[in-house]
């Protein structure tokens, strides 16, 4: 049967989608790019904010309209929190809770009355990554979280921590590498807690990946800034482990971090960042900041701005706080008004844009290996007439996740790694300009 897959939200949802894609293909089914062509459409929903729930429900409705005769399967956090909606009203054929995700493919094929062409199982399975036009693979190493940050619904929806066996992860990395993938990203709900339930830890897992695979690039998705073992950053002495980590800060005020029930204070976070930068030159730290958490005063906000200014980040995801039913923070007093959240978010984005440009500028005149990921175009001053013309370029990321672009006239198609020299920054400050080194 033809399978169409869609995901909203985090990297973990993407990793789960890729895992299902491979399972469906290995069972003889085919992936299709459009819901209209699908016998079954699978949606992996998000519930991190009310807006995410709204988008999940909107996507479900749209896919039902696009494929009125196909089967619709919905999973993810919006299902586990009960916010995906009424299955009958939305035309959903099968709801699958997060606790049953590992059996999703089996449940779909066992439950939905769809005939399967027997010869389909004899066809070679194309990698889900290339079928979905992906240049890197997300590897789900664990699920769930033992902690309960006061604003977070995701850990409630995902349940207790469950780590994948090391051998399963190694086998998946090797299989993806054989299919041509050159970078894997380790992802989960609480990546730093990997192994807590199987007498292992993240350091042991990464060490084994570097020993037992030949994948050129290993990267982390979001990692909470605690539970990283002593000397963790010495792992980055191996050049295959990419010198970039996304460490969610959430606030630069210790008072707000306590209200959030975060397990990391600003001094701890600063020490972690300094360890990384001391171990690896040009180590890139990116982060998340929640704006307008309940009780956040002007003083608290200024403390956040001062800490961000002092620390410096290659990129900042800025989120306005959104109350989530079922979390402790939703019932807190001193909720911040939307107007103040909007003002503070704009202020932080200006600072984040400046720091991103400063980080890119710090890379100019350095050499880097770039994994090419896609093609796009940009308005460029015309050399022959007044005004601008659209010129195509190829873009990708360096080892430390600096975004780079090269004129399509001088670059390969997306895919592959090339050594480049970073020579400047484009006018909007979002890309480093580069040229490819032939030797």
Question: pLDDT tens-digit profile of 223-266?
Answer: 998 888 888 999 999 999 999 999 999 999 999 999 999 999 99
- What's the first-to-final CA gap in the chain, in angstroms? 47
Beta-sheet strand order (sheet of 315-320) = 244-246, 284-291, 315-320
Asked whether residue 360 is domain-assigned, the answer is: no
Q: Is residue 152 part of a domain?
A: yes
Q: Is there a single domain that holds both residue 161 and residue 186?
A: yes
Which domain does 77 fall in, by range?
2-122
Percent of the chain past pLDDT 70, that is, above it, reads 90
Task: For residue 416, give the CATH number of its domain.
Answer: 2.40.50
* Whether 116 and 161 share a structural domain: no
- Helix (H) or strand (E) holding 206, with range, is helix 202-212
Last residue of a domain, one of 219, 242, 265: 242
Q: What is the CATH number of the domain that holds 176?
A: 3.30.750.210
- Same domain membership, residue 212 and residue 164: yes
Q: Are 3 and 24 contacting, i.e. CB atoms less than 8 angstroms apart?
A: yes
- Please, which pLDDT band fits residue 119 given cuts at 50, 70 and 90? very low
What's the pLDDT band for 213 if we cut at 50, 70, 90? very high
Domain assignment present for residue 227? The answer is yes
More confident residue, 312 or 417: 312
More confident residue, 284 or 376: 284
Same domain for 114 and 22: yes
Q: Are 169 and 75 within one domain?
A: no
User: Which of 209, 242, 275 is a domain's end point?
Assistant: 242
* pLDDT tens digits along 34-73: 888 888 999 999 888 888 888 888 898 888 888 877 889 9
* 33 falls within a domain: yes
Of residues 113, 108, 86, the one with CA closest to residue 96: 108
Q: Are residues 204 and 103 in the same domain?
A: no
pLDDT for res 110: 80
322, part of any domain:
no
On the 0-12 / 13-18 / 19+ scale of CB atoms within 10 A, 415 is middle
Are 97 and 195 within one domain?
no
Tell me which DSSP letter residue 327 carries.
S
In angstroms and rounded to an integer, the radius of gyration of the C-alpha atoms of the chain is 23
In-domain check, residue 141: yes
* Predicted confidence band of residue 160 (pLDDT cuts 50, 70, 90): confident
Q: How confident is the model at residue 410 (pLDDT cuts 50, 70, 90)?
A: low
Number of domain units in the chain: 3
Q: Are residues 141 and 226 in the same domain?
A: yes
* Residues 381 and 421 reside in one and the same domain: yes
**Cβ neighbour number for residue 69 with a 10 Å cutoff:** 7
Q: What's the pTM?
A: 0.79
Q: How high is the mean pLDDT of the chain?
A: 86
Is residue 144 domain-resident? yes
* pLDDT given for residue 30 in this prediction: 82
Whether the pLDDT of residue 129 is over 70: the answer is: no
Q: Is residue 75 part of a domain?
A: yes
Tell me which H or E stretch contains 184: strand 183-187
In three-state secondary structure terms, 198 is coil
CATH number at residue 77: 3.40.50.12160
Domain termination site, one of 210, 227, 242: 242
Do 146 and 217 reside in the same domain of the chain?
yes
Pairing of strands 162-163, 142-143: antiparallel
Give the CA angle between residues 77, 82, 85 to the nearest 5°. 100
pLDDT at residue number 366: 94
């Amino acid at each position: 049967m033809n399978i169409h897959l869609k995901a909203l939200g985090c990297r973990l949802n993407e990793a789960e989608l890729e895992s299902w894609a491979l399972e469906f293909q290995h069972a003889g089914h085919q992936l299709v790019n459009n819901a209209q062509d699908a016998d079954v459409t699978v949606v992996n929903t998000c519930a991190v904010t009310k807006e995410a729930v709204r988008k999940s429900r909107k996507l479900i409705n749209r896919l039902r309209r696009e494929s009125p005769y196909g089967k619709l399967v919905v999973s993810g956090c919006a299902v586990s929190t009960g916010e995906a909606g009424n299955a009958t009203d939305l035309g959903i054929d099968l709801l699958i809770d997060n606790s049953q995700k590992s059996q999703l493919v089996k449940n779909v094929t066992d439950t939905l009355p769809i005939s399967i062409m027997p010869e389909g199982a004899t066809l070679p399975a194309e990698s889900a990554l290339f079928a979905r036009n992906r240049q890197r693979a997300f590897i789900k190493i664990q699920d769930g979280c033992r902690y309960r940050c006061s604003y977070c619904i995701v850990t409630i929806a995902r349940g207790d921590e469950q780590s994948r066996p090391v051998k399963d992860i190694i086998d998946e990395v090797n299989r993806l590498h054989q299919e041509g993938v050159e970078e894997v990203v380790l992802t989960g709900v609480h990546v730093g807690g990997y192994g807590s339930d199987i007498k292992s830890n993240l350091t042991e897992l990464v060490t084994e990946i570097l020993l037992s695979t030949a994948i050129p690039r290993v990267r982390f998705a979001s990692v909470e800034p605690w539970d990283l073992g002593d000397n963790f950053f010495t792992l980055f002495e191996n050049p295959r482990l990419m010198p970039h980590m996304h460490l969610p800060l959430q606030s630069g005020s210790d008072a707000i971090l306590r209200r959030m029930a975060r397990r990391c204070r600003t001094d701890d976070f600063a020490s972690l960042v300094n360890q990384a930068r001391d171990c690896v030159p040009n180590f890139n730290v990116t982060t998340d900041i929640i704006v307008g958490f309940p009780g956040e005063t002007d003083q608290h906000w200024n403390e956040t701005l001062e800490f961000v200014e002092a620390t410096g980040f290659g990129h900042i995801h800025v989120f306005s706080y959104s109350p989530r039913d079922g979390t402790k923070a939703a019932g807190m007093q001193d909720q911040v008004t939307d107007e103040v959240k909007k003002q503070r978010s704009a202020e932080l984005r200006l600072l984040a844009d400046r720091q991103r440009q400063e980080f890119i500028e710090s890379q100019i005149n350095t050499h880097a290996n770039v994994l090419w990921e896609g093609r796009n175009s940009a308005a460029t001053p015309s050399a022959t007439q007044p005004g601008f013309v659209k010129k195509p370029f190829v873009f990708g990321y360096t080892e430390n996740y600096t975004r780079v672009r090269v004129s399509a006239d001088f670059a390969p198609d997306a895919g592959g790694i090339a050594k480049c020299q970073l020579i400047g920054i484009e006018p909007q400050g979002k890309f480093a300009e580069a040229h490819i080194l032939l030797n």
